[in-house]
Amino acid sequence: MSASRRSGTTDALGPEEPDPEPDGADLLAALLDGMDAALCAFDADGVVTHWNREAERVLGWSAEEAVGRHGFAGWAVRPADADEVQGRLLAAMHAPGRQVNEFALLTKEGGRVLVRTQSAAVRGADGKPAGVYCAFSEVHAQIDLERSIALSEALFEDAAWGVVLVDADLRPAVVNAHAARSLGVGRGAALGRPLGDLVGQGVEELESALAHVLAEGPPPSPTEVWVTLRRPGEAGGRQERRCWRSGFVRLASPLAEEPVPLGVGWLFQDVTEAKLSEQEAAGLRFRSQQLHRAARAAAECEDPAEAATVHLDFALAGFADHAVIDLVSSEEPLRLVRAAATPSGAPGPSLLVTRGALPVRYAAGHPAPQCVERTGSVRTAADAAAGPEWAADRQWPEGTVYALCAVLRSRGRTLGVVTFLRGASRAGFERADAAYAESVAARIAAAVDLAWEVAADDR
């Protein structure tokens, strides 16, 4: 504004008019009409002094029709109820705090609406009661609101699954007790921290899902996310792998003209045990099918030694990277002779050894001779400090980290040993793997025994 306007001088358009000050009554009317709750007010004599638009929407009576009437008698309540309603409303002038009541009011069309009211005294300049204001809403709307609040409180206190409210920055804003236990931290400790501080592997997938919900909305069905949890309070910061079946809902403000995302509601349940059981059952079905296929394929082999390699090849699928068959020689002391092996380079079928009956030079303590001596399975694995020479010293293909030896026995005799090998990309062998290896070894032993009989007959 120029100096001339600030001083009140005139210009070509005439005298400068001062900006009108907003009238207090206009401001009050705007505030009342903008409220989401219906509101009316009475003076000390019970005459209606204020009536906002929400009250008009609920009951149908306009402000012009309502203001100036004495109470609700004759228009907004039935005559039989008028005295009781009037008395309970005006009683709020002399009572401390707010008074909550439920009344059946009449609409302009003659219908009845059950409303819940909150009334409180209006004090004058001298501190004495000058009237009553009354905010009211339809009971079903109030009950819906209370249900929503109760549901939120129940979810964040007593739910049997994890509930996390994630803000727009993908940081936990509210965490219920179940989710805090699943994350391994206290409820307060999880708030405001990046998810990467709580979740190890799988955090990228989880954050991607949350970002997608913020941008596009929730997926049509629950999502299963495998994660590893960081446990900084335990020795070595151990990480625990878990599977969470997760559902997502986008949260938007109901007060904005256009939906404004407030964050994501993330609900999850730990289904690790069920998923592991499913995976184990699927693995057992696959291995059973492999044994069946191997038996049918081996039955078509004319050479029993070839049938032994067929069993080995079928066993490798999804189980190991490489395998070798070593047979016991007739010489003393105990010596093992390589009979078949899978290619150490590119994958391919097992090959019978044709270089002659040369013993394999296994060092003392090698798991293959131990397996023969014990007539039982032996598992071994490289430790964290082992280098490439660990596999070379044991005459296994480069990159081998885990080994499982199963003895070959037939008709009460020990015929040799089959060794299954895995690289670092796989997990170590477990007891269930040893049971499967023993099943394969029994079939290989039967084929080897038959091959020896055939060879003896030819001689």
Angle, vertex CA 350, rays to CA 308 and CA 419, nearest 5: 75
pLDDT surpasses 80 at 145: no
**Residue 90's pLDDT is what?**
87
Please provide residue 112's backbone torsions phi and psi, each rounded to the nearest 5 degrees.
Answer: -110, 140
Report the percentage of the chain scoring pLDDT > 90: 26
3-state secondary structure of 254: coil
Q: How far is CA 343 from CA 97, 196, 326, 352, in A?
A: 87, 42, 15, 11
Find out whether 202 and 225 touch, Cβ atoms under 8 Å: yes
Is pLDDT of 357 > 70? no
* Position 183 pLDDT exceeds 70: yes
Question: Taking CA 195 as the corner, what is the angle to CA 194 and CA 199, rounded to the nearest 5 degrees?
Answer: 140
Report the C-alpha gap between 287 and 291 in whole angstroms: 6
* Rounded Cα distance, 278 and 260, in Å: 41
pLDDT above 90: residue 295? yes
Q: C-alpha angle with apex 424: 419 to 426, nearest 5 degrees?
A: 75
Q: Residue 110 has what DSSP assignment?
A: S
Cis, peptide link before residue 369, omega less than 30° from 0? no
Q: How far is CA 427 from the centre of its chain?
A: 25
The predicted pLDDT at position 7 comes to 42
Does the pLDDT value for residue 19 go beyond 90?
Answer: no
Mean pLDDT score of the chain: 83
Q: Is the pLDDT confidence value at 351 over 90?
A: no
Q: How large a percentage of the chain has pLDDT more than 70?
A: 86
Cα separation, 324 vs 405, whole angstroms:
9
* Residue with more model confidence, 43 or 155: 43
If one compares 8 and 178, the residue with the highest pLDDT of the two is 178
Lowest mean pLDDT, pick from 58-72, 209-223, 325-339: 325-339
Tokens linked to 419 = 């060794």
* Average of per-residue pLDDT across 65-94: 87
pLDDT confidence band for 434 (50 / 70 / 90): very high
Of residues 29 and 111, more confidently modeled: 111
